[in-house]
Amino acid sequence: MSKMSDRERAVRQKLKDDFQHYASKCLKLRSKAGSIIPFQMNRSQRFLHERLEKQRKEKGKVRALVLKGRQVGISTYIAGRFYWRTSHTKGFRTFILTHLEDATSNLFGIAKRYHENCPNLVKPMTSASNARELVFNGLGSGYKVSTAGSKDVGRSETIQMFHGSEMAFWPNADEHSAGIGQAIANAPGTEDIRESTANGIGNAFHGLWKAAERGDSEFEAIFIPWFWHEEYETDPPDGWAPPDEFKEYQEIYGLDDRQTYWAFLKNRDLSVMAGGGPDEINWKFRQEYPANAEEAFQTSGTSFIPAISVLRARKNNVDVPYGPIILGVDPARGGGDKTGIIDRQGRRIGGHVALLIDRDDTMAVAGEVQRIARQLIPLGLAKIVVDITGLGSGVYDRLRETMGQYVEGVNFASRAYNREAYSNRRAEMWDLMRQWLEDPAGVQVPDDDMFQADLTSPVREKGATHFNSSGQLVLESKDHIKERLNHSPDIGDAAALTFAVNMDLIMDAWGEDGDQGSSGNVSTGY
């Protein structure tokens, strides 16, 4: 450093501090045409970079799960980011774990290309460079890759930077994840980034994603939709018009005709594996090229509440709600469940409150519900509906003491009002919510992937949602959903509880003095 001019020192400092600048000046990629070109970040890469840098500045380290569609450039970005940090930091060890040998070779080939084309001003000296490892001897840092297979891979390492590539496809993913977690130093400046396209539900990546989405881990959930990728577009032929389902898909996500036609063609190709006609968006396309996080984890099973119904409601913007407010409260039952609290007013769910709280003390839960309810009374609160199963009975009893006739208890397992159609109250309430979502006048729900995940959790499969021998609808149980998905639909059940009351009676009681609708928020978010 002492032999550098002031200008060289300033240039080197900017390259060290600003990755986007460094990438364009120092990193080289092989284009699809085979030429070596500078690394210019695309929209998906810029978005991810901003999220990671924000986390690094706020928390001092990075812990991120990235869910994305196929080939949008995320692995290329992470490889560049880690080369940048490892080649500028003393004592940093970077470890990359992929799902296939070919992927391991490809990712290490990207890193070696970065190194071979790096300008001498910032290029670190190497004492080893082979098919699996780069060692920067002057820094005591290094870059190593491996393929998921042996359960012990990575356990003997001491790692500061970890890239888990296509984690949903790792064999022995639970063991790998646990071992890597122990190998990564819990220290400032360290980074653990795991990315993948989805591979169904119930695997290690899906479990980590749901935990991160609900705030139950140190990982941040980051989703990247397929249509941000500039290459995913194709000129449609003259006169082509999207089928109805694609037209609605286009309108919901604001796609142009070239993106919509690309999606139509890709969906048609995947329909061979997924079934269904080319004019219907199949589950395989939604998994491989998701437009939101919940789509990525769809399977061939059909949700009791169609995803498109929830998606349509997420993007709606109904008029300022009018009428009585019903507050649904689904108290936690332990075992990782949380208490869901959400309101419904007119054609809007979650307009005032949509909340999950992680407490197992009945008095604390009742106190939080009471606080929210008292803020909602001037806005038109009519009923607080509480599931009285398990912990809920204590919450209900306390709320009855403090809120009186506002409170109504419901046992999900009790008899339905319409006993011919439904096996119990829970099936009845969920079906009323399904019908409400299909209201042709349009309804609105929170624009949130986790909320959609809850509402689409029950599926129509054998052993789940079906009709019994008496012709009654049987909804998949919370325990079965939790076993299948590793999470319970707490906020979904809270939303269903808002359909437990007789709205005709509520509206009659509302009367002439009921014009108390408001768009004011009490608390939103999970």
Domain count, the chain: 3
With respect to residue 147, please indicate whether it lies within any of the assigned structural domains. Answer: yes
Residue pLDDT, tens place only, 158-167: 889 999 999 9
With respect to residue 518, please indicate whether it lies within any of the assigned structural domains. Answer: no
Residue pLDDT, tens place only, 267-290: 999 887 766 778 888 888 988 999
Residue pLDDT, tens place only, 425-448: 999 999 999 999 998 889 999 999
339 and 207: one domain?
no
Domain CATH for 182: 3.40.50.300
**pLDDT higher than 70, residue 7:** yes
Which range, of 70-84, 258-272, 289-303, 333-347, averages the lowest pLDDT? 289-303
With respect to residue 130, please indicate whether it lies within any of the assigned structural domains. Answer: yes
149 and 280: one domain?
no
Residue pLDDT, tens place only, 338-382: 899 999 999 999 999 999 998 878 899 999 999 999 999 999 999
With respect to residue 526, please indicate whether it lies within any of the assigned structural domains. Answer: no
104 and 167: one domain?
yes
- What's the pTM value of the predicted model, to 2 decimals? 0.78
Strands (E), 346-401: 348-357, 381-387
With respect to residue 238, please indicate whether it lies within any of the assigned structural domains. Answer: no
pLDDT (0 to 100) of residue 469:
80
End-to-end CA distance of the chain: 49
**Residue percentage of the chain with pLDDT more than 90:** 52
Task: Please give the residue range of the domain that contains residue 444.
Answer: 320-513
With respect to residue 1, please indicate whether it lies within any of the assigned structural domains. Answer: no
Q: What is the DSSP letter of 471?
A: S
Percentages (nearest 5) of helix, strand, coil residues in the chain: 40, 20, 40
381 and 504: one domain?
yes
270 and 181: one domain?
no
With respect to residue 231, please indicate whether it lies within any of the assigned structural domains. Answer: no
- The DSSP line for 127-174 is SEE-SSEEEETTTTEEEEEEES-STTTTTT--BSEEEEESGGG-TTHH
Q: What is the mean pLDDT of residues 65-77?
A: 93
Q: Pseudo-torsion of CA 111, 115, 119, 122, nearest 10°? A: 90
Tokens of 72: 């949008």
Strands (E), 472-521: 473-474
98 and 54: one domain?
yes
pLDDT (0 to 100) of residue 465:
64
263 and 354: one domain?
no
